[in-house]
């Protein structure tokens, strides 16, 4: 029953994210990185609250208390009815048909395919490592430092809060200095910290996980927007591909890493995963496709203001 319920949650999530990503881009006013980050940080913030709610509500009142959190989804649905009405009236749903190619002439179709494969490899690195922390960080803390379940959940909340902060930072920074630079710094730049984590004491474990969460999380919104600029007019398709791969990798990695931990131990898992950010060196082969803010405004679909369109 738990598997059936979570499958339905996953189905709803898979329907929601691609179109919502396109909606966020349509409302961005040309600040595509910021809009994508702002959209994604909502999910990160909810994920960060999860461990706190588990520690102080679910552990106290039992598994059945999880059902009450469905009320939050009902409230969100009420908001989305109005947002959906604006989106339908804005014309952004069909904007892809009107968007002409804004890709730089120097970027060939072969380079686009190569870049997309590199981005998918970077997602592989990023989300397997994040799955190791998101799924097993509490067990690691309990096993290595003998923390209580509640204390370990609070540490997980701090890490996921850092992920949320990194998400909201990455997009605007990519808008300002270029997405390729942010992708390279985010994935490859976190390598020294992941290599040090398995050997750190509790104090430095707290510090390192905050740094790792912020730096790694800054890449995803930037990767999505970068890929959308590689294939203008395919915003929804790109969002669906990258969100789907990200969520799929996270789920499969969580199961695989759990099986590996059962055969060895959780410390071995973290030592192996610490090398994953080295895959970030592939970002050096990404083409330079960043467009200026002025050009972004030219190729973005013209969307009316929220209130007039809703009326």
Q: How confident is the model at residue 95 (pLDDT cuts 50, 70, 90)?
A: low
pLDDT of residue 110: 87
Q: How confident is the model at residue 173 (pLDDT cuts 50, 70, 90)?
A: very high
Residue 86 pLDDT more than 70? yes
Cβ contact 303:90 at 8 Å: yes
Alpha carbon 39 to its chain's center: 10
- The average pLDDT across 15-34 equals 84
pLDDT of residue 105: 52
**The pair of three-digit structure tokens given for residue 256, joined into one six-digit string:** 């695989």
Q: For residue 55, what is the DSSP state? A: I
Closest CA to 130 of 288, 246, 29, 238: 246
Q: State how far the Cα of 9 lies from the Cα of 1, in Å rounded to an integer.
A: 12
Q: DSSP letters of 223-262?
A: HHHHHHHHSTT-HHHHHHHHHHHHHHHHHHHHHHHHHHHH
Q: How confident is the model at residue 96 (pLDDT cuts 50, 70, 90)?
A: low
In the chain, where the domains are located: 13-310
Cβ contact 219:182 at 8 Å: yes
pTM for the whole thing?
Answer: 0.77
Q: What fold is seen in the domain 13-310?
A: Growth Hormone; Chain: A; (1.20.1250)
Percent of the chain past pLDDT 90, that is, above it, reads 43
**The pair of three-digit structure tokens given for residue 65, joined into one six-digit string:** 């208390």
pLDDT digits (tens, 9 = 90+) for 225-259: 999 888 887 888 888 899 889 888 988 999 999 99
Residues near 205 by beta carbon (within 8 Å), at least 6 away in sequence = 141, 145, 197
- Which one is predicted more confidently, 88 or 168? 168
Cβ contact 41:167 at 8 Å: yes
Cβ contact 289:167 at 8 Å: no
Cβ contact 187:279 at 8 Å: yes
Q: State how far the Cα of 155 lies from the Cα of 266, in Å rounded to an integer.
A: 17
- The average pLDDT across 145-170 equals 91
* Helix (H/G/I), strand (E/B), else coil: 290: coil
On the CB side of 134, how many CA atoms lie within 13 Å of its CA?
A: 26
User: CA geometry: angle at 23 spanning 19 and 26, to 5°?
Assistant: 140
pLDDT digits (tens, 9 = 90+) for 180-222: 999 999 999 999 999 999 999 999 999 999 999 999 999 999 9
Residue 123 pLDDT more than 90? yes
Cβ contact 269:132 at 8 Å: yes
Q: State how far the Cα of 42 lies from the Cα of 62, in Å rounded to an integer.
A: 26
> Phi/psi zone of residue 146: left (φ > 0), alpha (ψ -120 to 50 degrees), beta?
left
Q: How confident is the model at residue 310 (pLDDT cuts 50, 70, 90)?
A: very low
């Amino acid at each position: 029953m738990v598997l059936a319920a979570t499958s339905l949650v996953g189905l709803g999530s898979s329907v929601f994210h691609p179109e919502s990503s396109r909606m966020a881009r349509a409302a961005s006013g040309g600040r595509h990185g910021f809009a994508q980050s702002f959209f994604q940080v909502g999910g990160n913030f909810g994920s960060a609250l999860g461990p706190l709610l588990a520690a102080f509500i679910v552990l106290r009142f039992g598994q059945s208390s999880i059902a009450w959190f469905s009320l939050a989804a009902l409230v969100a649905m009420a908001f989305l009815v109005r947002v959906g009405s604006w989106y339908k009236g804005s014309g952004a749903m069909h904007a892809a048909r009107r968007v002409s190619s804004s890709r730089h002439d120097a970027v060939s179709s072969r380079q686009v395919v190569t870049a997309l494969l590199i981005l998918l490899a970077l997602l592989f690195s990023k989300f397997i490592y994040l799955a190791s922390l998101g799924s097993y960080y509490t067990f690691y803390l309990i096993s290595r430092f003998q923390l209580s379940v509640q204390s370990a959940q609070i540490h997980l909340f701090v890490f996921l809060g850092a992920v949320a902060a990194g998400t909201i930072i990455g997009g605007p920074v990519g808008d300002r200095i270029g997405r390729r630079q942010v992708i390279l710094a985010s994935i490859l730049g976190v390598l020294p910290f992941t290599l040090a984590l398995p050997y750190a004491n509790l104090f430095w474990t707290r510090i390192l996980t905050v740094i790792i969460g912020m730096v790694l999380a800054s890449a995803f919104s930037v990767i999505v927007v970068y890929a959308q600029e590689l294939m203008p007019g395919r915003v929804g398709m790109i969002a669906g591909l990258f969100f789907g791969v990200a969520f799929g990798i996270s789920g499969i990695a969580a199961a695989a890493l759990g099986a590996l931990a059962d055969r060895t131990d959780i410390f071995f898992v973290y030592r192996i995963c610490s090398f994953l950010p080295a895959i970030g060196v592939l970002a050096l082969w990404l083409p330079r496709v960043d467009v200026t803010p002025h050009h972004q405004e030219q190729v973005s679909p013209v969307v009316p203001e929220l209130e007039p369109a809703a009326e």
